[in-house]
Structures are given as structure tokens and as C-alpha cells.
Amino acid sequence: MKGKIKETKTKTNFNEISEEIYKFEKKAGFDKTSIAQLTKWIEEEVQNYKKAKSKIIKQNKLLDIICLVLQISRREGMSLDDAWERWWWKSRKYLKGKKT
């Protein structure tokens, strides 16, 4: 990560998971799906999540959303691992004066 920010206690492997999803996409022939289409599917999955009645369906919808986000981040060349680090760094202000 450029200009590395202080390490957090939590580690992620979003980039690794993103690569695994890409391998699946390529084998399945989905690797050319446009970002616009992926974004549309995220919106649809959010609506499906809101309508879901059972916990298992809600879990499935959240995972679908996560996978779509990871697909977009890979196509855009974004590191969600780096974004995670930045999020924790910026969010620390909410923990000031609180026991963790």
C-alpha cells in the first residue's frame, strides 16, 4: 500500500477473494460483464434483500452483493484491502475515549 497507514489488528483478503471470483468468472464466461450491468445487479440484489423473509435468503443476498462488489473492484483495479486499512484509520475517531 502506498504511504502505508498504521496497520490494523484486522486483516483482510478481499483482493485474494476477488482473484478467485475472477477465475470463476473467466471459466463461466462472465468476465466481460460490464460494470454498468454489475451495478444494476447490485441494486436488484439490495431490493431482493429488503424483501427477503428468511435469514438464509438474506445471507445469500448479502453474499451476492459482496461478490458483485468484488467483481467491480477488480475491473476498476481497486484494492479493497487498502480501502479497509484506510476505513479503519479514518474510523478510529469514533473509538476515542471508549474501551475496546
Domain spans of the chain, in order of start: 33-76
Residue 23 has a pLDDT of: 94
pLDDT for residue 88 is more than 70: yes
Average pLDDT, the chain: 88
C-alpha cell of 32?
A: 466481460
Q: Please write the tens of the pLDDT for every residue from 14-48.
A: 989 999 999 999 999 999 999 999 999 999 999 99
pLDDT for residue 65 is more than 80: yes
SS3 readout for the chain: CCCCCCCCCCCCCHHHHHHHHHHHHHHHCCCCCCHHHHHHHHHHHHHHHHHCCCHHHHHHHHHHHHHHHHHHHHHCCCCHHHHHHHHHHHHHHHHCCCCC
Q: From CA 61, how far away is CA 42, in angstroms rounded?
A: 9
